[in-house]
Amino acid sequence: MDTLPSTPPPAVEEPAYRVFLDSLDYLAPVDRERIKAAYAFAAKAHAAQKRMSGEPYITHPLAVAGAVVEWRMDADAICAALLHDVLEDTGASKRELADTFGKEVAELVDGLSKLDKMEFASYQEAQAENFRKMLMAMARDLRVVLIKLADRQHNLQTMSAMRADKRARIARETLEIYAPIALRLGLNKLYRELQDLCFRLIYPHRAEVLAKALKAARGNRSELLTRILDGIEGKLESAGLRAEVFGREKSLYSIFRKMKDKQLSFSQVLDIYGFRVVVDNVPTCYLALGALHSLYKPVPGKFKDYIAIPKANGYQSLHTTLIGPYGTPVEVQIRTREMHNVAQEGVAAHWLYKDSEESGADLQVKTHKWLQSLLEMQGSDSAEFFENVKIDLFPDEVYVFTPKGKIMAMPRGATVVDFAYAVHTDVGHHCSAARINHELAPLRSELKNGDLVEIITSPQASPNPVWLTYIKTGRARSKIRHFLRTMQNEESARLGERLLRQELLSLGVVPISIPSDAWEQLVKSGGQKSIEEVYTEIGLGKRLPSVVARRLLARENLSPEKPGNMTLAIHGTEGMAIQLAKCCQPIPGDPIIGSIKKGSGLVIHTHDCPAIRKSRSAEPQKWIDVEWEPEDGKLFDIRIKVEVKNTRGVLGQVAAAIAEAGSNIEYVSMDADPERLFTLLRFTIQVAHRNHLAAVMRGMRHIPEVTRIARERGGEA
């Protein structure tokens, strides 16, 4: 690292700067000199800039650094807070910062800088990519997000000069992303402050009305509040327990949310009195709980022990609800001083309170695990990653047990599949069933507090796209999508190879006769890395096999012979690369034709499918001849409609005839005519091929009550 620049005194030494310097007394003199140099560098870089309020721009980095100092963070973090906007808004470079203040400070500032140099299709895409960059930097160094949260807090406090719509947009983004991150990191005090600031910016009139009502209510409630407080303090004192007791104020935003979500009036929300009891150690927490339960009757089912089972963000307390004087509900939180520090400041308590090293370390481990899970999710595109992380930021947890007794925190609404992926990716990929509390349960079962969950795996099992409709965690969603994409690419590559081979053979060229350098040229010209990628693009419908084949032959000066009638043979069991159209549901024996659909691969229709008539005539180059290649054991869904006389037991007779013909019923619905003389039964049944379907229909025709049978076609393509 180069010598630090000399630190010229600011032209006008702001009182805020003097206060800031006085607050650095916990740092070594050499660190204080580095911070002064960082201030001088930032002041010079931002000298020509003003904030929208008209203040010098340096007031903003100084305020952010002041918040970081309150958390007692190290010199590198404070320097980064002072310099956090210099890469974005001035001509300074990352190399210059690294040479002057060290690589660590430069990395922190870079993690805090937006990606302004990149082009994005939309504001949402830019926001998602900036968010991804910040979280990746945060996964490497937690100080990045603490500085970012302090930056966002000061921006919200000083937004009066901004346009109302921009104020509201930034406030909504904060409520959606930054406030939940603060909560996830255990920064409860900052979380509440961010929420209240955003509430005042989005709903200024509502916030003003609520603030006045709250001020008036405080006066009206003071007598009862004092009585309950005196009662709690007296009881704890008589039990020989030393404790601090104080009332717990609800924030404006939490009052607003409760009124809105639970449809409560202001007085109903304020009717619940909250108190916090802070004691010396954990055994005293439980003694205090017993004393309070003997003072006021507890409400059954309203006790939570977050000391034995801490929340994912490290929060620990005993929660209980009591029936106080005049039947007033009284919510009490009991915790130690160390727990109180962590509850207020979360991961920042690691820097702030040196006496909480043990819980700080435990919280750091939990935070590190969460950040590592973010790194695992980042393979998806920015918008998808953004959505996955947002899901994980609103946990509202339930606690479940593994068969070995390990406690795992899952988001409320999480299913067996979410749990399987939380255990390990391979367990998720191969889960086939589960036991919840020793009883078999389907994979979509939602988990409840205290459930004992055992996953049953099978080597043949693999992720099902249907799982995406009911899973809750971002980790599970990311892993399943990655698996399905990989599988689709592999299957598409195999299909693309078959399509290109068929095209070459139809042009009278044997693929093996084409020299390897021709294939290499084809790959390079298309910008792919391998021939597998070319096959995948053909299989996904992104490139037409006829175009690829002609380019390959043109490069080799091979004149195609007269095209032959080559037909692609399929089984219908190829997986995601070949799809059977839902509109006509083709089965072996039906005359079929294939359409290469971009992103979906090869979609198979029957020749007479009404949904494809226009497309076949308008885009003939996208259609290829396909035929069935027999394969035993596979069953295909098919829709049939059966009109029957409306007599007792007729549905049972029809169902029995279908079963006797060796077919399964997947779905049935009924439509009766207005006179109720006839009923139209609609079935989805499983058959092996066209002849099997004919046998099923013959079996139903022998039933006297059956008046008409037809295969159902049409619907959406």
Question: Do both 148 and 238 map to the same domain?
Answer: no
Hunting for tokens 């620049």 — which residue is that? 5
Q: How many helices (H) and strands (E) does the chain have?
A: 29, 20
Q: State the DSSP code for 662.
A: T
Q: Are residues 217 and 311 in the same domain?
A: yes
pLDDT for residue 419: 93
How many whole angstroms separate alpha carbon 466 and alpha carbon 591?
Answer: 30
**Residue type for position 207:** A
Query: H-type helices in 141-178, by residue range?
Result: 143-157, 164-173
Q: Which of 143, 158, 173 is the last residue of a domain?
A: 158
- Report the candidate in 24, 20, 23, 88 with the shortest Cα–Cα distance to residue 57: 88
Residues 604 and 679 in one domain: no
Assess if residue 413 is contained within a domain.
no
pLDDT for the residue 519? 77
> At 686, which CATH number?
3.30.70.260
Residue 280 lies in a domain: yes
CATH classification at residue 301? 3.30.460.10
Say if residue 620 is in the same domain as residue 492: yes
Residue 164, Cβ neighbours under 10 Å: how many? 11
Give the Cβ contact number of residue 622 at 10 Å.
15
What is the arithmetic mean of pLDDT over 225-245? 88
Residues 325 and 247 in one domain: yes
Q: What pLDDT was estimated at residue 290? A: 92
Q: Which residues are catalytic?
A: 88-89
Query: Between vectors from CA 19 to CA 15 and to CA 25, what angle results, nearest 5°?
Result: 155
Whether residue 581 contacts residue 600, with contact meaning beta carbons closer than 8 Å, is answered with no
Q: Which of 12-26, 106-120, 199-213, 484-498 has the lowest mean pLDDT?
A: 106-120
| Of the candidates 494, 499, 495, 463, the residue with the CA atom closest to the CA atom of residue 481 | 463
Which amino acid belongs to residue 500? L
Query: Would you state the pLDDT for residue 564?
Result: 47
pLDDT of residue 270 exceeding 90, the answer is no
Give the residue-averaged pLDDT of 194-203: 90
For position 120, what pLDDT does the model report? 45
Task: Answer whether residue 188 is part of any domain.
Answer: no
Q: Do 244 and 354 fall within a single domain?
A: yes
Determine contact, residues 644/707, Cβ cutoff 8 Å.
Answer: yes
Query: Looking at residue 88, which CATH number applies to its domain?
Result: 1.10.3210.10
Q: For 110-114, 289-293, 304-308, 669-673, which range has the lowest pLDDT when averaged over its residues?
A: 110-114
Give the pLDDT score at 593. Answer: 85
> Last residue of a domain, which of 628, 660, 685?
628
Residue 141: per-residue pLDDT: 74
Query: 123-127, 349-353, 502-506, 538-542 — which one is most confidently predicted on average?
Result: 502-506
| 377-422 pLDDT tens trace | 665 555 666 666 655 565 567 778 888 878 787 887 889 999 999 8
Q: 599 and 651 share a domain? A: no
Q: How confident is the model at residue 642 (pLDDT cuts 50, 70, 90)?
A: very high
Domain assignment present for 422: no
Closest to 392 in 3D by CA, of 446, 312, 468: 312
Inform me whether the pLDDT recorded for 561 exceeds 80. no
Query: Within a domain: residue 405?
Result: no
DSSP string of 589-625, one letter each residue: TS-EEEEEETTTEEEEEETT-GGGHHHHHH-GGGEEE
Q: Is residue 184 part of a domain?
A: no
76-80, 384-388, 568-572 — which is least confidently predicted? Answer: 384-388
E strand or H helix at 332, and its extent? strand 329-336
pLDDT tens per residue, range 470-522: 888 878 888 888 887 777 777 777 777 777 877 777 777 777 777 777 777 77
Q: Are residues 87 and 151 in the same domain?
A: yes
End position of a domain, from candidates 127, 158, 189: 158
Residue 616 has pLDDT above 80, yes or no: no
Taking residues 320-342, report their average pLDDT: 87
Q: What is the DSSP letter of 354?
A: G
Q: Is residue 97 located within the same domain as residue 237?
A: no
585 and 678 part of one domain: no
User: Which range (330-344, 605-619, 639-653, 699-713) has the least confidence?
Assistant: 605-619
Give the domain range for residue 648. 636-711
The domain tally of the chain equals 4
Decide if 313 is inside a domain.
yes
Rounded to 5 degrees, φ, ψ at 690 are -60, -40
Q: Are residues 593 and 501 in the same domain?
A: yes
What is the predicted pLDDT for the residue at 286? Answer: 93
Asked if 150 and 68 count as a contact pair (C-beta separation under 8 A), the reply is yes
Taking alpha carbons only, the member of 609, 598, 619, 557 closest to residue 717 is: 609
Same domain? 231 vs 345: yes
Identify whether 41 is part of a domain.
Answer: yes
Please tell me which residue, 393 or 532, carries the higher pLDDT value.
532
For 20-29, 66-75, 341-350, 372-381, which range has the lowest pLDDT when averaged over its residues?
372-381
| Per-residue CA distances from 104 to 25, 79, 99, 113, 478 (Å) | 22, 10, 11, 14, 31
> Which residue from 487, 492, 495 is spatially nearest to 626, judged by alpha carbons?
495
For the chain, how many residues are written?
717
Q: How far apart are CA 496 and CA 586, in angstroms?
A: 21
> Is residue 410 classed as helix, strand or coil in its secondary structure?
strand
* DSSP 8-state class, residue 564: P
Specify the pairing of strand 601-606 against strand 578-580.
parallel
